[in-house]
Amino acid sequence: MKRIAAIQMASSASVGSNLTEAARLISRAVDAGADLVVLPENFAHMGMNEREKLTVAETLGTGQIQNFLATQADKHRVWIVGGAIPLKSASPQHVRAACLLYNDHGKVVARYDKIHMFDVKIHETGEMYSESETVEHGKDVVVVDTPFGRLGLAVCYDIRFPELFRRMVNEKVDIIAVPSAFTATTGKAHWETLVRARAIENLSYVIAAAQGGYHINGRETHGDSMIVDPWGKILDRLPRGSGFVIANIDLEFLRQVRRTFPTLQHRRISCEPCA
C-alpha cells in the first residue's frame, strides 16, 4: 500500500528560504513513509505583490525551483507534485501557474497549467485579487498514470469548478492533487466543504496541500491541509502552521466504493470540454 503526503507552509518572498523549508518538510514526510509528496501553491515564492512573480519565473526545464524539485525527487526516490510555480509564457507580462509532476528519478512526467484565475474582491475584508493580470490561464485537463493510480492535477481556485473534475473522471482519475493558497476568509467559509465535495462526487482521493499562516506581504492563508478518501472521510489534516499530513492510498477500497455506490455510472448529463 502506498502512502501520500501533503506539505503545508507559510511561504515568503525569499525563494531560497522557501526551498530550505520545503526540503525539510519533504524529508520529514519521506521519513514517515511518503511515496508521493504534494507541495502547496506558491510554495517557492509568495511575493510582496502580484508582479513580483514575473521576476522569478523560470523557463520550463531550467531554473532554481525546478532543479530543486528534480533533486529532491531523485534524492528521496519519491514522486513530487511541485505545487504551482511561475513558468514563462509567450507574453512577457504574464506567467503560467504550472503544476509539475516529478517521478522518483527526478524527471518531469506531467505539467498542468492552472485554468481558473482568482479575480475576486472579498467584501468582508476588502481584499482584491486579480490573478489574470499576471497569470495566463491554461486549457488542458491533466490526468496521468502513476504507481499510486491515475493522478489528476488542479490548483487552488480550480476546486470551485466541478466540471473540471468531471472531466478528470472521464479520464479515469483515482487521486486528485490540489495545491492551494486559499485566503483565510474564503478558506474558513468553503475550504473543507469543497475538498470533501470533490472527493465524494468523484469517488476519488483528494490530496489538498495548502499555504497556512501569515505572510510577509500581509496576506493570511487558511491552511487546513488534508487528505480525503473517496467516501469523504478526512484521513489526516493540519489546521495551521508548517508541517505535513500523510495517509495510505487504498485503491481496492476505492474500487469497492465505486462498485457498491456506482454514482459515476448513473450520470445523465455529459461534461463538455473546458473552453
Q: Which residues are annotated as catalytic?
A: 41, 114, 156
Asked whether 28 and 244 are in contact (CB, 8 A), the reply is: yes
What's the grid cell of residue 217?
A: 506581504
Asked whether 138 and 115 are in contact (CB, 8 A), the reply is: yes
* Pairing assessment for the beta strands 234-238 and 225-228 based on DSSP bridges: antiparallel
Instruction: Map residue 45 onto helix, strand or coil.
Output: coil
Radius of gyration of the chain, Cα coordinates, nearest whole angstrom: 17
What is the 3-state secondary structure of 136-176? CCCCCCCEEEECCEEEEECCHHHHHCHHHHHHHHHCCCCEE
Asked whether 245 and 6 are in contact (CB, 8 A), the reply is: yes
Spatial distance between the Cα atoms of 18 and 68, rounded to a whole number of angstroms: 11
CB contact set of 264 (below 8 Å; sequence gap of 6+): 169, 202, 203, 258
Apex CA 127: angle with CA 124 and CA 129, to 5°?
A: 135
Burial string for 72-95 (b: 16+ CB within 10 Å, else e) reads bbbebebbbbbbbbbbbbeeeebb
Measured CA distances, 257 to 145, 164, 262, 271 (Å): 21, 22, 8, 22
